Structure 1
Amino acid sequence: MSMIMTMSSDPHDPSKIPGHNAAVSPEESFRQAGRATAVSAIRAAMEQFGSLTGRTPEAVSGVRALPEGGWSVLVDVVELERVPATTSVMATYRVDVDATGELFACERLRRFTRGTTDI
């Protein structure tokens, strides 16, 4: 299952993620559900990725369930801000979280300029 989701107005605000409840931490969300949902996995992946790298996630460009019960989330970030913004260097990272919401793998998959498209 893949999905594309772009955050609106303030990309630094995790409450822009659909289904986000600021009163419930990603870890608590996993405990309540007993297993991660796509929304809770996205929230956990974005929060832990930001803490680990110091980069603010700009968008989520994909999510898929892993056979062992976790989730793989594709997170897009700005690596080098430029003017005009269409020339900024972006990167897509794969961030894997396990069934309890803990990040267990993270790797950069590609770098690109914001103004480019995949063919």
Structure 2
Amino acid sequence: MSNEKNTSQSQGSREAQDSREPQETQTPNDRHAADGDRPTPMEVLRQARAQLAELTGLAPESVSSFEQTEDGWALDVEVLELARVPDTMSLMASYQVELDQQGQLTGYRRVRRYERGRADARGGR
């Protein structure tokens, strides 16, 4: 019985302590939207990858280009389009992704497809 008493007392004191601690209910994205601030570059990268994956069903592997524009953000994202064996023969694609100032995807397009193991013959893109 004394164990039950101690348990209920400790729970009560823990609840009282929890109620005194400030709790943050906003996510980082909510804070930026409420403040009117632009998201940080890392937030933009995460949002772009997540939104592109949701829209295309393809998993982004890397971001090869990233820049802030007057209208928002522009990125080039590399995705795996078709897995093959060996992995160096897998089919990759590069997508141009555009986001507004708040980091919401406004458009994307595939600009290139290539095998993972192939170097770019053009020296650039």
Give the aligned partner of residue 36 of structure 1: 39
Query: More relative contact order in 1 or in 2 (CA 8 Å, sep 6+)?
Result: 1
TM-score by length of 1: 0.71
Q: Is the CA contact 1:44–1:97 (under 8 Å) kept in the aligned structure 2?
A: no
Unaligned runs of 5+ in 2: 1-25
Q: Tell me, what secondary structure is at the counterpart of 2:119? A: coil
Give the aligned partner of residue 86 of structure 2: 84
Give the aligned partner of residue 103 of structure 1: 105
How far 1:113 moved relative to its partner?
0.5
Instruction: Return the letter of the residue paired with 1:51.
Output: E
Separation in 2, partners of 1:37, 1:71:
11
Of the three residues 52, 70, 73, the one matched with 2:55 is 52
**CA, structure 1 residues 30+71, in 2 after alignment: closer, same or farther (shift >3 Å)?**
farther
How many percent of aligned residue pairs carry the same amino acid? 38
**CA, structure 1 residues 61+99, in 2 after alignment: closer, same or farther (shift >3 Å)?**
same
How far 1:24 moved relative to its partner?
4.4
Q: Tell me, what secondary structure is at the counterpart of 2:118? A: coil
Instruction: Return the letter of the residue paired with 1:114.
Output: R
Structure with larger Rg: 2
Unaligned runs of 5+ in 1: 1-22
More helix by share: 2
TM-score by length of 2: 0.68
Give the aligned partner of residue 66 of structure 2: 63
Instruction: Return the letter of the residue paired with 2:83.
Output: E
Q: Is the CA contact 1:97–1:105 (under 8 Å) kept in the aligned structure 2?
A: yes
Give the aligned partner of residue 18 of structure 1: none
**CA, structure 1 residues 88+35, in 2 after alignment: closer, same or farther (shift >3 Å)?**
same
**CA, structure 1 residues 67+59, in 2 after alignment: closer, same or farther (shift >3 Å)?**
same
